[in-house]
Structure 1
């Protein structure tokens, strides 16, 4: 019997396919810009974190002196404590509100499309503008309302209270951050097949049971994404805090980002560059955590 050999012409194995030049046209400029704008300055900053440089002039190597000093600096420790505490509370609040809104805005209600548009408006407004608006509300409008209604604890601005100022920052940050988390939750809920809910209804499941046993488990991957992305974003909070409290009263609401930037302009360049390097390591750890928790999840 003759053996027929079929030769496929014009096709190469995947490993032998040549990359089209158009890909390099998009990749190389972006890679060069990223290297010049991000990588090179970061490496230079890490280098100067081992010196006593003030940003200009002469400098000398000091080894790990800046890093050792940071762990005994109350201002640095306070900024990390505030930043992590504020981030954790805000993440919980944002995701709780966003998830509940997503459940409501994906239900069979009237005007849900216009309502979705309304709820995402805060996402497109600049954070510093939002901060100045709420600064006026907390400093003028809320105390006036407290005085008019006789509520004594509202008569004083929250922004002037070192124990409560962080609550105002949490509220304003959450107000701006809820829309982005809301959109992700809406996408997750809408990706659940309607047949699943119909089958559950036939089996006698209530709306509450459907929410807890169907919706929550099936959107858990989106919860993970929102929690970790939100936590990373809140660690870098700066503009809203500047507009609301400027780190005050005193240093009660000074974040790590504010501490680093104030050091750059105050003559502590090398010291705060060491702080920035440590903060970079924290961000990398959070990013690796995100990758490990979302790896292997379908549809994400």
Structure 2
């Protein structure tokens, strides 16, 4: 009897030996190797086309290289000269003025449109597609269309308004408004989609309860809508400001930095001086400074806005 019981136990446990699972380990190793074979080409390509050129640019920022011919090391003189250059300061001033104005307008208009699209209106999906069309179109193509509107159509339609009658693009004090209008018109498309995604995560029961308590629409917005989409607001503000700080295409299409240098952004200055003005090393140093500025601004935005999310 005891012999039969031991035999049954032995057969149930595989003859007293522990079960082996070499196939599971082999499969795991294969999965890991496949994963690395997929990742490494991307890492190498990113390093070759992004990291290495960036490091080469940082290296040349400490030289007097003009983009051709011989060069010598000049230390940090390029960086010191940037702080003494009035044209650089004007470019930074215009860039931040433009970026702040465009960011505020883009987010305010996009949130208003997104709330309208999120409501129960007819042909809601149609209007969502219409509002996203500007994001698909090429900026230069849109820019030349807007240039025609500002130089020909608006002066004919509003001859009594001085801002439009004299061609706003030739006015050094107001030409930046035309660039803001173009950038906001296209930038709203992507921002609306982000806000719509956030608005659709809010339960409708919250608005019903607030309505029963007598809360007005404005009160519902500040007490329910805005706090619950604060994460989406953070994403939109950071992406908008970062993108507008690097503004280039709208300026090329509308004013090319003019009249004079009144609408010359930092990226436009780097392009003009570095590729056409024989200031390759000097403008590369400017690009390094600009990269640091954008990084610091983005990190500060994240810190301030995420702290506000936590408080909300």
TM-score by length of 1: 0.90
Check if 1:281 corresponds to 2:292.
Answer: yes
1:220 aligns with 2:238: no
* Aligned-partner Cα distance in 2 for 1:8–1:119: 60
CA contact (8 A) 1:119 1:179 kept: yes
Segments of 5+ residues of structure 1 without an aligned counterpart are 1-5
Q: What is the SS of the residue equivalent to 1:120? A: helix
Q: Aligned pairs, how many?
A: 289
- Give 2:96's match in structure 1, choosing from 84, 105, 108: 84
Following superposition, the deviation at residue 74 of structure 1 comes to 0.8
Q: Which of 244, 254, 266 matches 1:234?
A: 244
Q: Find the aligned partners of 2:119 and 2:19 in 1 and give their Cα distance.
A: 56
Partner residue, 1:266: 277
Give the counterpart of 1:198 among 191, 197, 208.
208
Match of 1:177 among 184, 187, 202: 187
How far does residue 290 in structure 1 lie from its aligned partner after superposition? 5.0
Deviation at 1:55, TM superposition (A): 1.4
Q: Root-mean-square deviation (CA), in Å?
A: 2.4
Distance 2:304 2:23 in 1: 38
Q: Tell me, what secondary structure is at the counterpart of 2:158?
A: helix
| Structure number with higher helix proportion | 2
Distance 1:128 1:155, change over 3 A: same
In the alignment, is residue 52 of structure 1 matched against residue 72 of structure 2? Answer: no
SS in 2 for 1:204: coil
**1:32 alignment counterpart:** 44
Mapped contact 1:225–1:290 kept (Cα < 8 A): no
Deviation at 1:261, TM superposition (A): 0.9
Q: Higher mean Cα deviation, 156-165 or 283-292?
A: 283-292
Gaps of 5+ in 2: 1-17
Contact 2:150 2:164 (8 Å CA) reproduced? no
Note the C-alpha offset of 1:156: 0.8
Aligned residues of 2:63 and 2:74 also touching (Cα < 8 A)? yes
Distance 2:206 2:236 in 1: 24
Moved more, 191-200 or 157-166: 191-200
User: Which structure is larger by alpha-carbon Rg, 1 or 2?
Assistant: 2
